[in-house]
Structure 1
Amino acid sequence: MAAPANKTIGDLNGVWYLNKTLSDSVEPALSLQGVGFLLRKAIGAAGITLHVKHYLDPAAVPHVDITQIVTGGITGTTEQRTADGEFRPHADWLFGSVRGRCQYVTPEELGAFLVSAAEQGWVDAADREFLARDWLPPTDAERAGAYGQGKPLFLSHVENLDEGGGWTATQVWGFQDVGGERRYVRNVITAKKGKFVALKMVYDWVSELEEEKK
């Protein structure tokens, strides 16, 4: 289902479901990240639902907390993102020990980041174009601010710290026209030792969170 008009990258509050028909397979990226064959196949077959909560902390810094629900008996992961551009450590059963940072950006700020990312070996020339393309212009709601600070894109960069790991994952979140409908999308580049995997993740809108309905 298309995203409601009031949903912006600064207000993703609600429940979203990964549309695997419209999305690319996650298996090549998981392989590069060292996830085993059987687990990759199980994740590839599972349904994935995101419960997203946006809020500001007392210092007015935006937070995005995401609980991932996975079918097929697979334990989901939790994303707790503080959108201030600072690196923070995180660890879970699937991706191991990582450090990540995220922030809201304009297209111009994204372009500047991608120049630096290419120098670091996190993306190549084709990836830079992929991460920056297809995003819809900001809506009036995005220009007005909300948690996204008036910026229409969300940039996330994660680095794996495990011995033998060494992969990075760079994501840009926003809204795109997919099949004639406005949808929440993540363009993702996973990189390791000069190898790159690009994938697009497209989400269906499901509903508001239960606590928001009360």
Structure 2
Amino acid sequence: MALPAHITTKNLSGRFTMNKELTPAEPLDKILGLQGIGWLKRKAIAIGTITLTFKHYKDDGGVEHFDIDNHLTGGIPGSREERPVDGAERKRSDMHFGPQLFYTKRRTPGDKQGLSEFSSKGWTEDTLEDGLIETQIRADTKGAGWRELHTWGIQEINGERRFVRNIDFEGPKKEHIQIVMYFDYLGA
């Protein structure tokens, strides 16, 4: 289902499921493999459904937050992400991806410093006005690890507004993969 007009990067609360028809499977499988996810689990993810439940709010101190519950069908346990939108790097551990360092920040209008063409194109006017969401996740390892730079926002695809994640991935041996993940809106 397309996003209603009131869902913007300033109000992303709701449920979303990855659209498998629009999201290419092969690059996603390659990324998961480079992150150490085994073949069997990758196949289960490919067959299953990924659903994200977003709670988007500001705390008492005025700091913006995304609390995201990731649900996977097929018996694969999901995970919870708690992301303050303040640009501070934090540690977390994930049952699938291991120890990680991450930050999340809002890219204000006109702030394109450091954004690649891939990360900065295709966004709706309201996304550009309200600001993109940028989050970087990297393996917390002493040796070579992987890194994902996500840019989140709203794009219009085939005449419908959709929540989108542009992901610029770098693997442990400097492999470079870019993927756009498209999501359907399931409601509040």
TM-score (norm 2): 0.92
Runs of 4+ in 1 over 4 A off after TM superposition: none
- Whether 2:134 is the aligned partner of 1:134: answer no
Q: Are the equivalent residues in 2 in contact too, given 1:96–1:162 (CA < 8 A)?
A: no
Aligned match for 1:198, one of 175, 178, 181:
178
Deviation at 1:17, TM superposition (A): 1.1
The SS at the match of 1:28 is: helix
Question: Is 1:173 the counterpart of 2:152 in the alignment?
Answer: yes
CA distance in 1, matches of 2:11, 2:89: 22
TM-score of the pair, normalised by structure 1:
0.82
Deviation of 1:137 after TM superposition, in Å, equals 1.2
Once the two structures are TM-superposed, the CA of residue 164 in structure 1 deviates from its matched residue by 5.4
For residues 40-75 of structure 1, what are the alpha-carbon distances to aligned partners after superposition, in whole Å with 9 as ceiling and x for unaligned? 111111101111101111110000000011100001
Conserved 8 A contact 1:33-1:95: yes
**SS at the partner of 1:135?**
coil
How many aligned positions are there? 185
Could you say what secondary structure the match of 1:51 adopts?
A: strand
1:18 corresponds in structure 2 to 18
Offset of residue 34 of structure 1: 1.7
Distance 1:164 1:73, change over 3 A: farther
| Pairwise CA distance, 1:32 | 1.7
Structure 2 counterparts to residues 95-114 of structure 1, below 5 A: 95-106=97-108, 108-109=110-111, 111-114=112-115
After TM superposition, the structure 1 = structure 2 runs for residues 61-76 of structure 1, keeping only pairs within 5 Å, are: 61-76=63-78
The structure in which a higher percent of residues are helix is 1
> How well do the aligned residues superpose, as a CA RMSD in angstroms?
1.6
- TM-aligned CA deviation for residue 165 of structure 1: 5.5
Aligned counterparts of 2:41 and 2:176: Cα–Cα separation in 1 = 21
Aligned partners of 1:31 and 1:37: how far apart in 2? 7
Paired residues of 1:34 and 1:165 also in contact (CA < 8 A)? no
Q: Which range is displaced more, 162-171 or 77-86?
A: 162-171
Matched, 1:46 2:48: yes
Could you tell me which amino acid in structure 1 is paired with residue 101 of structure 2?
Answer: R
Query: Does residue 80 in structure 1 map to residue 82 in structure 2?
Result: yes
Equivalent positions of 1:143-154 (< 5 A) are 143=129, 151-154=130-133
More strand by share: 2
Alignment match, 1:8: 8
Residue ranges of structure 1 left out of the alignment (5+ in a row) = 115-127, 144-150, 209-214
Cα distance between partner residues in 2 of 1:31 and 1:131: 23
Specify the SS of the correspondent of 1:138.
Answer: helix
One-letter amino acid matched to 2:5: A
Structure 2 residue ranges without an equivalent (≥5): none
Distance 1:77 1:196 in 2: 26
Q: 1:40 to 1:165 in 2, by over 3 A?
A: farther
